[in-house]
Structure 1
């Protein structure tokens, strides 16, 4: 199968996986929002924050280095495998015994059991993680899709069942752990043919992987701090209930980023790594990625912005109205973030992960005083605005780095993005008129608003961007 066909096939399977996983996650959050207090979501948000922080150190960026080097040496892979297991067990102990400090900072006793239980995550995932990296390197996206779907379904069913039986915040933790057990088992089963670990451990063989990973860890650490400083401040200063509102608003607005963008980037990076010496092709691919991401994310974000007043009460019920103004801020932050994400494919392809480290360092230096000042003035809303401002600054610097790596691209990018921006303005205008003359609240009005907005964007796209002939041609290639 040609590289192009592998990319199309991979995109198809990752899309299927993402759609199904997103549906189950969306249903899970919608059901649990009606069963659990907002403070529960704040508790789980803290747990997720801690897990994500320690995850930065656990694999030293081996996923990117394995793909970049196209690593096949069984001894090197065995060393990486056992190093990951050791790191995972060490981090499990650190997280488990750090629970009292976390409880003291957030002043929330429920966090003790949650953090200790969540620490098992690091015992589970590293038995199968290297197999996931190898499946990505070999472009086996069908296998990856199967395991993602299976984990999402089992995890969601577990969490919902336990929530109905009174497990409160523990229902979400057990759901997440169950999901990772299923995924790990399937990663091993589907990837074992590419690698079977031998009793071999030699750090000298993986010096380049470690060197590559040091900047990954530094970049990840700074990226974590600057990406989660708002959550840390909200939870520690304003309490877990405010953090619950903030988290749900943020999660809903970043759904397109966390679910749609990986479809493109997960397929793109292994392919771009194979053409790392061809700057012309890298530039074309980068612009295409930005174009595709714009058309996928913009209509969803614009639709959420204009329909938030009707969608939130319908999905989550009463009591979640404080999330609405936050969602409208996060929509813009989400859009700017999605345009920044493709840089990592270029930076890693060119072997320049250090640039991402410096980018996050500068963003963090700018963001901390913004969070302090805006938060002091306007509390949770101010923190959301500070996050948005820092994201805009990050995007400007992001594009400057991309320019230094692949050359001038802004003129073509601006020409491309002007269309989806115009289509979204027309979509928002059409829905706004419906709201003014017909209504906002209720299931029927909500569904009609979504239908009108979707129809406007689709018609404009088919008229001025993508013809039926191109769609038919694409379907045949798939």
Structure 2
């Protein structure tokens, strides 16, 4: 099967799973937001912050090294497996012990229980991670999709049930623990045909993986701080409730890219890792950016222009303070569409250190920028600071991609100008509707969505992709 056929088949299964997960996650958030107040989302956001930090060290960075090096040696995989289990229990213990420090920092006693309970997930995740790696390496996207859907269904059922039963912040944490356990079981059950560990453990024999993983983990640490610095600042300096408002705004503003981009990255990276042709990598990067931007830009533009209606209708009047934040943070997502595939390019060229340097430079700039804007403009200022540092990161990433695959910027700009133009026309027409017809209530929101969708699809059919080409693509899927 050709790379294109594999990519199409993988994208089909991954897209199906992501669409289902997206709808379920959206429904879950909309339902529980009616029950749980912003402060609870602030608590969960802090807990997630702590967990995500420790997740950086998952498998010592082996996730991408196994794929990049196409590792098949059972002894090496067994060493990685046992090292991961030991690391999982170590991380779980560290999280449990760190709960007191987090409580003292944020002065919020409720954090102690949710963090301690969440620590249980780490031994499970680290035990099953190698099976997820191998399933992805072998392009078993159907199996991965099925597991993701099962986990998503279980998560929404548990979360909503517990939230309406009065468990408050524990409803989200308890459901995560249970569905993590179920997914761990399924990864091992369905991946055991690819790998059965043997009693073998020699760290010296995985030094190449460790060397690869050191930069990857270092990049992850810096990326974590870069991506969550504003949450750390808000939770401490502004307040837990404000952090809840920011969390809702951030989740909504990055919602399209966090759902679509992983589909593309999950399918494309294992294929790109097999490529040794630099021109092929450049073409792959440009095609991925073209696809991501064409799919995401209309969603992000629509969210920008309709956010005042969307936030209140979905989450309720208590979250009206998130509207302006959404309008600002959405520009971070615009930039993320063009830089997201760069990581796959760097890893495919066996250069994980380059993305480490990107995050290091970005962090050095971000700390004083967020401090200045938070002091001058408060919560809104932090969002503006986030956009500015994201723009700097985009410039640096473009420089690195140019270094890895050669000149590409002219072609990239040519590709994204079309969806940007379509989006400007779409936003303009929706603005006119809001100005002269109405912008309050579900009916007007539905009308704006229909107008925006019709305009973008119509322009796409005329100037980007004809109906016959779309039908041919559908047939190939």
TM range (shorter): over 0.9
Residue 233 (structure 1) aligns with = 233
Distance 2:183 2:253 in 1: 26
Could you tell me how far 1:198 is from its partner in structure 2?
1.3
Distance 1:461 1:189 in 2: 44
Distance 1:259 1:183 in 2: 19
Is 1:283–2:282 an aligned residue pair? yes
Could you tell me how far 1:87 is from its partner in structure 2?
0.5
Residues 410-421 of structure 1 correspond to what in structure 2 (within 5 A)? 410-421=409-420
Could you tell me how far 1:59 is from its partner in structure 2?
1.6
Secondary structure of the residue aligned to 1:35 is: coil
Distance 1:255 1:456 in 2: 22
Secondary structure of the residue aligned to 1:321 is: helix
Could you tell me how far 1:255 is from its partner in structure 2?
0.7
| 1:325-381 alpha-carbon deviations (Å, 9 max, x no partner) | 000001101111221111011000000000000110000000000011000011111
Secondary structure of the residue aligned to 1:197 is: coil
Could you tell me how far 1:179 is from its partner in structure 2?
2.0
Distance 1:390 1:121 in 2: 33
Q: Which moved more, 1:170-179 or 1:209-218?
A: 170-179
Residues 271-420 of structure 1 correspond to what in structure 2 (within 5 A)? 271-275=271-275, 277-420=276-419
Residue 465 (structure 1) aligns with = 464
Distance 1:143 1:212 in 2: 27
Residue 263 (structure 1) aligns with = 263
Secondary structure of the residue aligned to 1:448 is: helix
Residue 17 (structure 1) aligns with = 17
Residue 120 (structure 1) aligns with = 120
| 1:23-77 alpha-carbon deviations (Å, 9 max, x no partner) | 1111111011100010000000001000000111232211100000101111111
**8 Å Cα contact 1:234/1:380 also seen in 2:** yes
Distance 1:243 1:294 in 2: 29
**8 Å Cα contact 1:147/1:182 also seen in 2:** no
Residues 72-221 of structure 1 correspond to what in structure 2 (within 5 A)? 72-221=72-221
| 1:393-430 alpha-carbon deviations (Å, 9 max, x no partner) | 00000000000000001111111111000000011011
| 1:139-176 alpha-carbon deviations (Å, 9 max, x no partner) | 11000000000001101110100000000000000111
- C-alpha RMSD of the superposition: 0.8
Could you tell me how far 1:468 is from its partner in structure 2?
1.2
Where structure 2 has 5 or more consecutive residues not aligned to the other structure, the ranges are none
Could you tell me how far 1:437 is from its partner in structure 2?
1.4
Residue 445 (structure 2) aligns with = 446
**8 Å Cα contact 1:155/1:177 also seen in 2:** no
Distance 1:185 1:20 in 2: 21
Distance 1:57 1:129 in 2: 12
Could you tell me how far 1:2 is from its partner in structure 2?
2.6
Distance 2:262 2:210 in 1: 25
Distance 2:71 2:475 in 1: 34
| 1:210-258 alpha-carbon deviations (Å, 9 max, x no partner) | 0000001110011111111100000011111110000010001101121
| 1:160-207 alpha-carbon deviations (Å, 9 max, x no partner) | 000000000000001111221121111111110000111111111111
**8 Å Cα contact 1:151/1:178 also seen in 2:** no
Distance 1:60 1:360 in 2: 18
Secondary structure of the residue aligned to 1:472 is: helix
Secondary structure of the residue aligned to 1:408 is: coil
Secondary structure of the residue aligned to 2:298 is: helix
Residue 8 (structure 2) aligns with = 8
Distance 1:206 1:448 in 2: 58
Distance 1:441 1:71 in 2: 56
Distance 2:376 2:153 in 1: 43
Distance 2:237 2:85 in 1: 36
**8 Å Cα contact 2:88/2:127 also seen in 1:** no
Residue 242 (structure 1) aligns with = 242
Secondary structure of the residue aligned to 1:201 is: coil
Distance 1:236 1:91 in 2: 24
Residue 251 (structure 2) aligns with = 251
Could you tell me how far 1:3 is from its partner in structure 2?
2.4
Q: Which moved more, 1:333-342 or 1:420-429?
A: 333-342
**8 Å Cα contact 2:59/2:129 also seen in 1:** no
Give the aligned length. 477
Where structure 1 has 5 or more consecutive residues not aligned to the other structure, the ranges are none
Distance 2:310 2:289 in 1: 28
**8 Å Cα contact 2:75/2:198 also seen in 1:** yes
Distance 1:129 1:107 in 2: 34
